[in-house]
């Protein structure tokens, strides 16, 4: 009887524990999805990311917007995360360009960014260490294209939002990361004005200006006049809203030979990929480009 009583008590205890678990699960099921904070892979809750601590870089967005024209951005090649060797090559070229203290923005863009978060985070961390060495001479903002998790984990200053995700992502990013530098891309005047007026990104890449290896089959180029047209339209629109106009950077086939053309037309600067990163001497190429841009900008923005 003693053994049987203990066994009955044990069975009763397990049954009560089982019922308790069922009730707890039922209660949790009725709680709002964010009751326990953002879940790691809940994209609706800002891609599953926690709120970002901006205390170490509280004014990067403001600093970027108020830098003197012309602005120079460098965008990484799509295969920058393909291997450690490609990472090292990218970092060597970036380090050379940064030594000029003339680079305002680095956009880390790679193919299929969502599938390479680990490698992208590692590259971002290494880029940030490079940038910090030159921060006192010239503050350079670093953004990651299309992967918010890698941007946050890598310590970047912000995010480049994919053009087709602007309406979905920018407000969420600002909510969780108030001081982030946020940019996107535009390819026509109407969309550019609407995007910048409604979402007020810090910058936009505007193009495609010239033939480029990034879009080798593209024949219907937007041309080098579009960035200036957008910059002019935004100046009127955003001044009415009493906000600092979005910075418009020309992109697509920008080189030492043609870099001055979009700025001559009113663009605030240029974004460059291979002309700098594949140059034998990235620092010298950067200086050459900036020299041409500054000559034009001294007339365009006296």
Please indicate whether residue 177 or residue 22 has the higher confidence score (pLDDT). 177
The stretch 65-76 carries a mean pLDDT of 91
Closest to 131 (Cα-Cα) out of 155, 109, 159, 111: 155
Omega of the bond leading into 181 within 30 degrees of 0 (cis): no
What's the pLDDT band for 25 if we cut at 50, 70, 90?
low
Mean pLDDT of 186-199: 94
Least confident interval from 34-38, 215-219, 262-266:
34-38
- Residue 53 has what pLDDT? 57
**Does pLDDT of 301 surpass 90?**
no
- Tens of pLDDT, residue by residue over 165-178, are 998 899 999 999 98
Query: What's the distance, CA 96 to chain centroid?
Result: 22
CA distance 230 to 43: 32
Q: What is the pLDDT of residue 60?
A: 76
CB atoms within 10 A of CB 278: 13
Whole-number Cα distances in Å, 134 to 138, 148, 281: 6, 24, 18
| Section 218-247 average pLDDT | 85
Quote the pLDDT of residue 266. 94
- State yes or no: pLDDT of 235 exceeds 90: no
* C-alpha distances in Å from residue 113, one per residue of 43, 119, 121, 147, 174: 15, 9, 10, 6, 21
Strands 158-160 and 141-145, by their bridges, are parallel
By percentage, how much of the chain surpasses pLDDT 90?
A: 58
In this structure, what DSSP letter does residue 7 have? H
Q: 7-24: string of b/e by CB count within 10 Å (b at 16+)?
A: eeeeeeeeeeeeeeeeee
- How confident is residue 221, by pLDDT bands cut at 50, 70 and 90? confident
Q: What is the pTM of this model?
A: 0.79
Does residue 198 have a pLDDT over 60? yes
Question: In whole angstroms, what is the distance from residue 149 CA to residue 267 CA?
Answer: 31
The per-residue pLDDT of the chain, averaged, comes to 82
155 in Cβ contact with 169 (< 8 Å): no
What is the bridge-based pairing of β-strands 203-206 and 247-251? Answer: parallel
Collapsing DSSP to helix, strand or coil, 27 comes out as helix
């Amino acid at each position: 009887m003693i053994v049987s009583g203990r066994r009955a008590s044990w069975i009763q205890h397990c049954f009560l524990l089982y019922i308790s678990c069922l009730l707890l699960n039922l209660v949790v099921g009725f709680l709002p999805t964010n009751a326990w904070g953002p879940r790691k892979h809940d994209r609706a809750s800002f891609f599953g990311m926690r709120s970002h601590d901006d205390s170490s870089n509280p004014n990067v967005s403001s600093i970027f917007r108020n830098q003197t024209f012309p602005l120079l951005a460098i965008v990484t090649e799509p295969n920058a995360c393909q291997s450690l060797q490609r990472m090292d090559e990218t970092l060597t070229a970036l380090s050379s360009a940064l030594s000029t203290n003339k680079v305002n923005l680095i956009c880390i863009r790679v193919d299929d960014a969502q599938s390479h978060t680990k490698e992208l985070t590692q590259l971002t961390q290494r880029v940030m260490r490079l940038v910090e060495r030159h921060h006192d001479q010239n503050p350079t903002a670093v953004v990651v294209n299309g992967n918010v998790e890698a941007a946050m984990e890598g310590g970047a200053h912000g995010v480049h939002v994919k053009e087709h995700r602007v309406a979905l992502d920018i407000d969420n990013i600002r909510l969780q990361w108030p001081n982030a530098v946020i940019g996107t891309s535009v390819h026509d005047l109407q969309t550019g004005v609407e995007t910048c007026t409604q979402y007020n990104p810090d910058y936009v890449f505007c193009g495609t200006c010239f033939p480029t290896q990034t879009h080798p089959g593209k024949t219907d180029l937007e041309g080098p006049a579009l960035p200036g047209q957008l910059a002019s339209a935004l100046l009127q629109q955003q001044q009415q809203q009493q906000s600092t106009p979005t910075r418009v950077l020309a992109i697509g086939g920008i080189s030492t030979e043609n870099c001055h053309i979009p700025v001559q037309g009113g663009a605030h600067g240029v974004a460059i990929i291979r002309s700098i990163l594949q140059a034998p001497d990235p620092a010298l190429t950067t200086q050459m480009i900036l020299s041409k841009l500054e000559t034009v900008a001294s007339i365009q923005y006296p």
